[in-house]
Structure 1
Amino acid sequence: MRVGIAGLGIVSPYGFGLESFSKGLFSGKSALTPLTRFDARGFRSQVGGQVDFQSDKLEESISKFWLNKALEEAIKQAECKIETWRSCKKAIILPVVSGDSSSTYGERAEIWVKDPLDFLPFAWRERTPVLRVSAACSSISSAIAMAKSLVSQEQLDMVMIARAELLNEYEYASLDIVKAISTDTARPFDQNRNGILVGEGAGVILLESEECLRDRGKKPLAWIDGISHIVSGYGTNMVELDKESTMQTMREALEEAKRKKVDCIQAHATGTPQGDLIEAVSIVEAIEEGNMIPVSSHKGAIGHLLRCSGVMGLATGVISLKCQAIPTTIGLINLDRACTIHAVIGRSMKATVESVLINSFGFCGNYVSMVVTSAKS
C-alpha cells in the first residue's frame, strides 16, 4: 500500500510555514545571520540559521510554540480533524533528544535533555503509542522509514513525526571542538567548503495510507514510494561517510520506488570536504545517468538542523514537486571539480519534476535515502 504525505508543517530560519520556506529558497538569499541565542565568541564561527522569534517566555517553551505552529499547518493541509485521528490506528514517532538555547557545555546531560512529547497538545497524544528514534542527523528520515513500513503493511493508518531543534551552546561547542563548524559559511559541494553551520527550526509530518486518504477524499502532498534506512560503515569512524553505504541506500530506495533514476536530488551535502565528495561520487556511480540529474542542497541557505534536518530535506523535495522547479544551492559558487554532479548553481531552475531523491546521512553509520513522487502519479 502506498504511503502519502498528508500534511507537512515547518518552522525554518526563513520564517513560519512551508510557503515562507519556499519563497526563501527561491529568493537565492541565505537565512544565515549572526548568532544571538548564546554568546558565540571564541567559536570558529558566530553565524547560524536562526528563527527570527522574540518572546518573554522561558526558552524551553520556544520548542513547544514552534511545534504547535508546525502541527497547526500540518493538520490544516491534511484536513484532518481530531476525531479522525482518535478513531484511526495511529502512532507518534519522535527523535529522543532536544535541547534549549540556555543549555551550555558545562551542564549535566539530564538538564539538556528534553522530551518533545510534552510540547505536543494533549488531545493529539492522548492514548497514542509513541515510538522513539535516535539516528543522529538522519533521525527524522529514519522515523519516516519506520512510519512507511508500519503504514504500508497496514499496521497503522496514520503516523505523526515531530521534532524541534533549538540552537544551543552545548551542541555548538561539541561540533566546534571537532572542527566541524565552518570558519566561513556553509558551501555544499564548493571547492572552498570547510564545514557546516548549524540551524534551528521545527517540523511536523503527517503520513497516511492510500486507503485512508481515498476514504477521506483527500490527495496527498506527495507519495513516499521508496525508502532505505541502513546502519553500516563497519571499519570507518563515527563521522566519516562510507561510500558503499551511501550507494546502497540510494539504490535500494530507487529499487523500491521501481525507478532507475529521478528528476532531481536533494542532497544531504552539509559543506564538509569529505562528506560532500563521497555523496557526489556515490550519486554518479549509483544512479543511471547520475551525472546528469540536477542536485541541490538547502543547508547553505539555513544551516544544518541536525536531527531535524530531514524535515527540511523532505520539505524541499515537496516544494520542487509543487513548483516544478529546483532551488539553487545557496553558498555554492565554484563547484569542486572532483564532484562531477550536475549541481544547481547561481539560480533556481525550472524543470519537470515528478520524482525527487532525498538523502539524509548521520553520524555512526546512519544512512537514509527516499524517493518522493508527485501526488498525480
Structure 2
Amino acid sequence: MSDIVISGLGLVTPFGQGVEPYWRGLLGGRSALAAARRFTSPPYRGEPVGEVPEQGPGAGGATTRPGPGPEEGPRKSAYARTALREALHAAGLARLPDGAAVLLVGQAPLPPPDDGWHGRRAVDEREFLGPDPEEVLSGVLAGPGRQPAHLSHACASAVFAVGYARELLRSGAAPVAVVVGSSVLNRYEYASMDVVRAVGRTAARPFDVDRAGISLGEGGGAVVLEGAAQARARGAAADLVVAGAACRVAGAKSAASDTGRIAACMRAALDDASVDGLDHVHAHATGTGQGDAAELAAVEAVAADCGARALPVSSHKGAIGHLLHISGVPAIAAAAGTLRGGVVAPTAGLTVPEPTDRVVLPTVPMEVAGARTAAVNSFGFGGNNASLVLLRR
C-alpha cells in the first residue's frame, strides 16, 4: 500500500477555531493562558488556564463564533465536531465514506442516557467523559458507518490513536480513518492534576529553568488519515507521511518521567520510519520540573544517536495549556506547520532555557529550511509512551 498520510487537520483551541489561528499564535510566541472566565471548581484557585474563547476575535484577528448553546449540545461534543468538520474540509471530503474507521479519544466512553441523566450531574459527567459519538458524527457519515472505537491512553491517547489508524489503513481494514476528540476544563480532571501537585500557580513555561507546573487547557482536535495515492487522486494534501510510530505501555515510573523509556520509544519510531536523522522534535513538555528534564535528556540521547548538533525542540503547552487526551493533535499540527513552512515556532513562556548540548530550545521563530523529518512526542501517566515520525515528501 502507498504511504499513509495526514490529509486533513482540524482544531479548536484557546486561540479560537482553526489550525491557522493556532499556528499564527504559536509563531507569534503568544500565550492564551489566563485566569478562568467561566470555569469554576473546588480545587481551582485562579491559576492560568487555556479556555476556548466564547466570542470575539481570536489570535491574529480570526473570528470565533459564540460558544456552543443548548441547540448545539455540550461543549465537549461541539469542540470535537467543529474540529472534525475542519479536518474533513481540509481533506476535501464532504462526508466520511462508508466503512471509515472513527477513533474517539478521551478519558472514557460516555455511558448511554438513562432516567438519571439530567441536571448538574449530566453537565459534569459530559464534560469529563465522552465525547458523544452521535453528536460528533452527526451529518458527516455517508452511510451507516461502523462502530466508533474509543481509545484512552492518558495524555498520549491521540498519538496512540494515530498509530492505530495507520495500522488499520495499512491492513486494508478501512478506506479512511479519523482520530477525533476534545477536552473541556472540568472539576474531575482538574482535581486529579491538582492532587498530584502537577498544576502550576503561574502559566506553564516548558523547558524554562523556572518552570513550576502545567496549565490545563481545553479544545478539540481531529486528524484524517488515508493512503497517499487515494488522497492525491482527490486533490487532497499527500505530502505529510506518518512514516513511523511507536506506542508502548511500559515504564518504571508512574509519571511520564522515565528517560530510558522515552528514548527507547523515540528510537523505535525512528526505526519504524527507516530514517536516521531528525530536523525537529515537537515535545510533550508540559512545564513540570521532572517531566521536562526527563524528556530533554532523552531527546539529547537520540540527537547524539542521529549525529545532530543543533536539533530544535519546542512545545505548544505554554501557549494553549495541556489538552490532556487530545493534546497530540495540536502537537501534530505544530510539527506539520514546521515541515511545511520551514520554521519552528518558539515555546511560549520560555525565557531562560535549560542548558543543552545537542538541542536548541527556541525563544523566537527559528528557520529550518529544507526540514523533512519531525518527531512528535506524547507521554502520559501509567507508562503510556508514544512517538510519531512525520516525513514531508
Q: Scaled by the length of structure 2, what TM-score is found?
A: 0.86
d(CA) in 2 for partners of 1:211, 1:75: 17
State the 1:212 CA deviation: 1.9
Structure 1 residues 55 and 259: alpha-carbon distance in aligned structure 2, compared to 1, 3 A threshold:
closer
Match of 1:86 among 97, 116, 128: 97
Is the CA contact (8 Å cut-off) linking 2:8 and 2:91 kept in structure 1? yes
Is the CA contact (8 Å cut-off) linking 2:158 and 2:328 kept in structure 1? yes
State the 1:157 CA deviation: 1.9
Asked if residue 113 in structure 1 is aligned to residue 129 in structure 2, the reply is yes
- Written as runs of structure 1 = structure 2, the 5 A alignment for 1:1-377 is 1=1, 2-39=3-40, 43=44, 45-53=46-54, 54-55=66-67, 57-58=69-70, 61-82=74-95, 85-87=96-98, 89-97=99-107, 112-125=128-141, 126-220=144-238, 222-233=240-251, 235-236=252-253, 238-287=254-303, 288-290=306-308, 292-337=310-355, 339-340=356-357, 342-352=359-369, 353-374=371-392, 377=393
d(CA) in 1 for partners of 2:265, 2:374: 14
Q: Structure 1 unaligned runs (5+)?
A: none
State the 1:153 CA deviation: 2.3
Name the aligned partner's letter for residue 248 of structure 1.
Answer: A
State the 1:226 CA deviation: 0.6
Is the CA contact (8 Å cut-off) linking 2:36 and 2:46 kept in structure 1? no
More displaced stretch, 123-132 vs 167-176: 123-132
Structure 1 residues 300 and 115: alpha-carbon distance in aligned structure 2, compared to 1, 3 A threshold:
closer
Query: SS of the counterpart of 2:287?
Result: coil
State the 1:174 CA deviation: 1.7
Name the aligned partner's letter for residue 310 of structure 1.
Answer: G
Identity %: 31
State the 1:214 CA deviation: 3.7
d(CA) in 2 for partners of 1:315, 1:253: 18
Counterpart residue number, 2:60: none
Structure 1 residues 50 and 258: alpha-carbon distance in aligned structure 2, compared to 1, 3 A threshold:
same
State the 1:130 CA deviation: 1.3
Is the CA contact (8 Å cut-off) linking 1:265 and 1:294 kept in structure 2? yes
d(CA) in 2 for partners of 1:104, 1:360: 33
Is the CA contact (8 Å cut-off) linking 2:50 and 2:320 kept in structure 1? yes
Is the CA contact (8 Å cut-off) linking 2:211 and 2:289 kept in structure 1? yes
Query: SS of the counterpart of 2:190?
Result: helix
d(CA) in 2 for partners of 1:322, 1:57: 36
Provide the aligned length of Structure 1 versus Structure 2: 368
State the 1:69 CA deviation: 2.1
State the 1:172 CA deviation: 1.1
Q: Scaled by the length of structure 1, what TM-score is found?
A: 0.90
State the 1:34 CA deviation: 1.1
State the 1:155 CA deviation: 2.1
d(CA) in 2 for partners of 1:327, 1:214: 28
Is the CA contact (8 Å cut-off) linking 2:106 and 2:182 kept in structure 1? no
Name the aligned partner's letter for residue 280 of structure 1.
Answer: L
State the 1:239 CA deviation: 1.8
State the 1:110 CA deviation: 8.4
RMSD of aligned Cα (Å)? 2.7
